[in-house]
Amino acid sequence: MPRPDVDIAILGGGCAGLSVAVRLALAGRSLLVIEPRAQYVDDRAWSFWRTAPDPFEDCVRASWSRWEVGGPGGAVCRGSAHMRYQTVAAGAVYDRAQSLIADSPLAALSMGTSANDLHKSPDGWRIETDTGTLHANHVIDTRPPRRIPTYGQFFLGREIRTERPVFDPGSVQLMQFRPARSRGVDFVYILPFARDCALVEVTSFAPTSPGRAVFEDWLETEIAGLQPGRFEVLREETGALPMEVGFAEPPQPGVIRMGLGGGAARPSTGYAFTRIQSQADHVAEALRRGAMPRTLRDGLATRFMDRVFLQVLQTMPERGPALFEGLFRNAAPDRLERFLSGSTHPADRLSVMTSLPTLPFLRAALVPA
């Protein structure tokens, strides 16, 4: 085999690909990111509770210490003196990552290039792209999954600037539940950046998306209900996140699989950004030690809890709003937020378990669907 062109080839330059590329570039590793998009645009925002540092902390657009859930029993307001719910703008992440990669003499980003076939030999990898052949010692595959999950989070959101000051910039409307338009649990999510500017998003936890037409009608109804006066749409984001325990695509032997196809989304919530950062830390450290990373890292207890919760949500979607409301109403301060962010501490798990009704979850635990 010819001498490798780079040590590490990263297939896909989305959140996961750029996150691991930045860490490897900062460590002085030789790498190439292969990204099919010809250019990046500010196409989404990633939101999460900050629990650990990462290379994109200066990309945080907004941060909140209060959040609210509105269920059948009324509004539940929570907050924290220690944790912040933060939003990272994709455009800022893309710019930051490109800058750090460009600063490394051994790292590069190939835009407008798609990876097609992978071939393994005793000496490394041959990657066939639409611009030529690349040879590498290691391959990290962060491309979107091809398989369709059995349950997911589907959403359509628009960031708007309004004529009237209709938002409270001090509190995130995390989940405002609505009568179902899908075959699952439907809610509105509002990230307020200012009194006259927010991301308004309609979301379904469901086995399939209700479709673009349903989402557009629903989102337009929600925006009109705010009585915003004239408003301007600044950007739009749409997507689907897997909510399935063990969701991952088996990689080709020897390939490191990351991102949504590598199980990065939390099965019971769809939160992915924090877990992608953890994956990226783990992969970079494993490669430094010369070890093969294990990116699907949820333990048996976590997988069990997520499986039981999702089974109840899927089989009894009409109970979903009350279940989420109960979680946010009854869980001890910070414990639910840490659990949703990936904590496996026994006290955080116990707080979540005792905040939910016993019977449906006991039934789901004893009789898997």
Give all domains of the chain, ordered by start, each with its CATH number: 6-62+86-146+246-289 (3.50.50.60), 152-242 (3.30.9.10), 300-366 (no CATH)
User: What is the model's pLDDT at position 342?
Assistant: 83
pLDDT (average), residues 47-70: 96
User: What is the model's pLDDT at position 4?
Assistant: 87
User: What is the model's pLDDT at position 238?
Assistant: 96
Q: Write out pLDDT tens, residues 172-195.
A: 999 999 999 999 999 999 999 999
φ, ψ (nearest 5 deg) of residue 304: -65, -50
User: What is the model's pLDDT at position 146?
Assistant: 87
Which of these ranges, 74-78, 137-141, 330-334, 359-363, has the smallest mean pLDDT? Answer: 359-363
Which of these ranges, 96-110, 138-152, 159-173, 290-304, has the smallest mean pLDDT? Answer: 290-304
Stated pTM of the model: 0.94
For 364, the 3-state DSSP assignment is helix
pLDDT exceeds cutoff 80 at 251 = no
Which of these ranges, 20-34, 52-66, 266-280, 287-301, has the smallest mean pLDDT? Answer: 287-301
The span from the CA of 346 to the CA of 332, in Å, is: 13
pLDDT exceeds cutoff 80 at 227 = yes
pLDDT exceeds cutoff 70 at 265 = yes
**Block residue for tokens 């639409």:** 130
The residue among 14 and 1 whose pLDDT is bigger is 14
User: What is the model's pLDDT at position 299?
Assistant: 86
- Give the side-chain half-sphere CA count within 13 A for 93: 27
pLDDT exceeds cutoff 70 at 59 = yes
Q: Write out pLDDT tens, residues 127-142.
A: 999 999 999 999 999 9
State percent of the chain over pLDDT 70.
99
**What average pLDDT is seen over the chain?**
94
User: What is the model's pLDDT at position 1?
Assistant: 52
Residues 191 and 214: beta-carbon distance below 8 Å: no
pLDDT (average), residues 262-272: 91
| CA nearest to 10, candidates 123, 137, 102 | 137
pLDDT (average), residues 43-58: 94
φ, ψ (nearest 5 deg) of residue 90: -60, -40
| Token pair of 333 as six digits | 């301060």
The span from the CA of 72 to the CA of 67, in Å, is: 17
pLDDT (average), residues 343-362: 91
**pLDDT band at residue 2 under the 50/70/90 scheme:** low
User: What is the model's pLDDT at position 73?
Assistant: 95
Query: What secondary structure does DSSP assign to 144-188, as a single string?
Result: PPSSPPSSEEEEEEEEEEESS----TTSEEEEEEES-SSSSEEEE
User: What is the model's pLDDT at position 298?
Assistant: 84
Residue 140 bridge partners (DSSP): 10, 256
| CA nearest to 77, candidates 325, 343, 270, 321 | 325
Q: Is the dihedral of CA 210, 156, 145, 117 positive or negative?
A: positive
User: Helix 15-26 and helix 90-103: axis angle, to 10°?
Assistant: 30
Residue 79 bridge partners (DSSP): 66
